[in-house]
Structures are given as structure tokens and as C-alpha cells.
Structure 1
Amino acid sequence: MDISSIAAAASVNAAAKVQTEASVRVLKMALDMQGDSVLQLLEALPVPAQQAPVVGSAAGGVVDTWA
């Protein structure tokens, strides 16, 4: 193996490493943006009002104590 092929292999390896790091960084940015979008969607949902059920308004709400 001559020196030029070793240098070429090292150069290809370094370029692949840089490309991989850039791809990972872009993926992280995309995931962060997606997470932000999900939070915005969740915040836009209306919050249902928590109401206590009225006694007698649903099945089992009235108990017949004379039976």
C-alpha cells in the first residue's frame, strides 16, 4: 500500500465522519422542531372543565334506601 492510497483512505474516512456528524445534527434539529410543534398543538387543545357529577343525574346516582 502506498502513501497516496493511505492518504486517500484517511480523507474519505474524515469526509464520512463529517457527513455523519452533520446528519446527526440535522436529525436532532428536526426532532426538536417536531417536539416544539407537538407542544404547540397540545397547548392549543381546549381544556375540558372538570365538573363534579350531579347526584341523581347518572345511573347509580339515586339509592333507594326503602327497598
Structure 2
Amino acid sequence: MNISGVQVAAMASGLDQRDAVAVTVLKKSMDIQKQTAMQLIEAIPPAQSRPTGNLGSNIDVHA
């Protein structure tokens, strides 16, 4: 019984270590996605101002 208990403990510690590595990889992946999203947002050109005068203020409904 003692040997199987040691094996179970060894397996459990191996799973904990693999889980920790998986969480670390996930966090790194999320950081990279965040950086990429911020770069895309910063690359969006600024919105152009509205036209002046009456350009675009009338709609031709008879066309």
C-alpha cells in the first residue's frame, strides 16, 4: 500500500506542475493577444470630421 501511495503522490505533484505550466503558458498567450489588440487599436486611423456646409445633410428620396 505504501508504494502505491508514493506513486499517487508523485503523480499528483506531476499534475500540479503540469497545471502550473499550462496556466503560465495561458497567461503568456493572453498577454500576447492583449499586446496585439492594442497595436491594432492604435493602428486605426482617426475619424474624419463631418463635412461642412450642407453636404450630406439632405437625402434625395425620389432617386
The residue correspondences of 1:4-23 to structure 2 (distance < 5 A) are 4-23=3-22
Question: How far is 1:34 from its partner?
Answer: 0.7
RMSD: 1.5
Task: Give the alignment's TM-score, normalised by structure 2.
Answer: 0.79
Q: Which runs of 5+ in 1 are unaligned?
A: 61-67
Tell me by how many angstroms 1:57 deviates.
1.9
Q: Share of identical aligned residues, percent?
A: 24
Between structure 1 and structure 2, the one with the greater Rg is: 1
Output the TM-score relative to the length of structure 1. Answer: 0.75
Higher relative contact order (CA 8 A, sep 6+): 1
Q: How many residues align?
A: 58
Give distance in 2, aligned partners of 1:38 and 1:52: 28
Q: Cα offset for 1:42?
A: 1.2
Moved over 3 A (4+): none
